[in-house]
Amino acid sequence: MKVTKGGKVSELLKDTRIPKMFRATQTFPREVIRPEEIPAAVSREMEREEIRSRIQPGMSIAITAGSRGIRNVDIITKAVVDGVKAMGANPFIVPAMGSHGGATAEGQVEMLAGYGITEEAMGCPIKSSMEVVELGYSERGRRVVLDKNAYEADGIIISCRLKPHNAFRGPYESGPCKMMTVGLGKQVGASVVHGDGMDVIAQNIPTMAKVVLEKAKILFAIPCIENAYDETCKIEAIPAEKILEREPELLKYAFSNMPKLIVGEADVLVVDKVGKNFSGTGVDPNITGTFSTPYASGGLKVQRTCFLNLSKESHGNALGCGLASAITSKIFNDMDIEQMYPNCITSTVLASARIPCVVSSDKEAMQICIKTCNKIDKDHVRMVRIPNSLHIGSIMLSEAYYEDVKAGKYPGLEAVDEPAELEFDGDGNVVTPIVL
């Protein structure tokens, strides 16, 4: 694709006014387990008798590690490894990420390394393979498989994050059950779970998880939950036989800790950086409102959205850009189709991989969104700018919101400075920082 700076597109957009913006802070409840407190928190959970009694000296223990940008995932994983070692057992880590990492064993190891999970850092082996073992069939007739290395261990610990999913709703969304069926199912299992469509995945996950719990040596799950500031706020070990009961309860707690864009509605949303380390779809639609399916809803009510940069941690996987109205040529040039398409082929959701309008710069991305909005006040555009969808404690808002924010219309939202013009460099990329 040829994107011409200064061409006809640039000419059509050049007079589109970008509104003045001001910095604002959003305040949410902030229960937190600080990084230095995490090893002790994990240890307390693993020392509970109903958990500790499951690990015996000499056992080979598989510990899962996923592909998401989970806060403190390296610290949590190392604490679980150390806990297993303290009980005299022999831990190893298994990448549990379905088809991510390009659906290759090497790619999945590379993804873990990007999060600080290496054999050297963790002090134990990492056994990565796409080979699976068949466990049986669910009550819905779906084939259930499990990572071969994990299956052959004496026990499996499901270490993961528990949170609302970005494409469907149900009692079991992103958490231990999904980790058992999609993560440990590798590409084969992930394809089966998603194969009936996102309107059925909420049924496939628990029914297939039942088979895993019956046929595999799952010892316990130890999910973490994050607060509105992307900080670890809860870690809880759940005995295998209680996972199906406890996970829906913890999902409600996770929902209660979700952040949001307090203004609720906007004409344009600008996201500085997207990527797999922020969400499976580049941004979390529970925040941005850019859902890939009709089976989940929420987030900001917005007419146009633009994405400006792709994170290095994504390794070229720009899945989710199809949900934007416009992206920059920077993102387009960073795309690696071999990293993107295995995900959407496996999930059967193609919308996330589509290519939206591509423009030459950040400025033009904002301008094309503003210019193509319908039925808005172009002199008072409501624009929201966020650094990414995980960290929205500090944001920028256009001057259209200023008086209402100052007047206290939005509880939890506070203006930090006054509206001012955004600054752009010679290439048209924004240089005004969201946080001073």
- Which of 342, 296, 346 lies closest to 323 in space, CA to CA? 296
pLDDT tens-place string over residues 6-20: 899 999 999 999 999
- State pTM to two decimals: 0.85
* Burial class for 248, CB neighbours closer than 10 Å (0-12, 13-18, 19+): middle
Q: Is the CB of residue 311 less than 8 Å from the CB of residue 274?
A: yes
Q: Is the CB of residue 179 less than 8 Å from the CB of residue 190?
A: no
pLDDT tens-place string over residues 176-229: 999 999 999 999 999 999 999 989 999 999 999 999 999 999 999 999 999 999
β-bridge mates for residue 359, sequence order: 328
Phi, psi dihedral angles at 137 (to 5 degrees): -130, 145
> Is the pLDDT confidence value at 85 over 90?
yes
* Alpha carbon distance 117, 277 (integer Å): 14
User: Lowest-confidence range among 97-101, 112-116, 287-291?
Assistant: 97-101
| pLDDT computed for residue 1 by the predictor | 81
